[in-house]
Copies of this chain bind each other. A is one copy, B any other.
Amino acid sequence: MGSPPSDALSGSIGPDGIHRKLIRVYFEDTDFSGAVYHANYLRFCERGRTDCLRVMGVHHHELHKGEGGGLVFVVRRMECDFHKPARIDDLLEVRTVCLEAGGARAVLGQRIVRGETLLFEARVTVALVGADGRPRRFPQGLACAFKALQPRPD
């Protein structure tokens, strides 16, 4: 296939500090109304967050198997606005920025757009927990990643 398209899969962070990633709408994402099932926008956002961290060198399987012991991200709170429906075959862009970065909590702003049309937006509070379910402070690399993800004027 020539050059590997894995970078394209994971998206990239622009000079404006926003991570952008493309997502295609498939059969599995839609429901009988003809539009994307509402909970699936949360799946799209989670792919955006995961790939945003990936391009900054943070990987779920490393957090989980690392010496910290079974670290995984959990979502604490989401405020979601469903503006317009996405449909089969649509090519969507998920945009992710970091709004607040604390020592054990980050608040991300996410938007899903189709061209210039805003379909969905969410404010997402995430934390990291250990195998015992208790919150953990962000490791250094992760804390830096969230700080680097602040939106910047162009």
Where the two chains meet, the residues of A that have a C-beta atom closer than 8 Å to any C-beta of B are 1, 5-12, 14, 20, 22, 24, 26-28, 30-35, 37-40, 42-43, 46-47, 50-51, 54, 59-61, 64, 72, 74-82, 85, 87-89, 91, 133
Chain B nearest CB from A92 CB (Å) reads: 11
Q: Are B89 and A60 in contact (CB under 8 A)?
A: yes
Q: Are B61 and A88 in contact (CB under 8 A)?
A: yes
CA distance A24 to B46 in the complex (A): 12
Q: Are A22 and B46 in contact (CB under 8 A)?
A: no
Q: Are A5 and B5 in contact (CB under 8 A)?
A: yes
Q: Are A27 and B50 in contact (CB under 8 A)?
A: yes
Q: Are A40 and B38 in contact (CB under 8 A)?
A: no
Q: Are A75 and B38 in contact (CB under 8 A)?
A: yes
Give which listed residue, B11, B39, B50, contacts A39 with CB less than 8 A: B39
CA distance A33 to B88 in the complex (A): 10
Give which listed residue, B27, B50, B133, contacts A46 with CB less than 8 A: B27
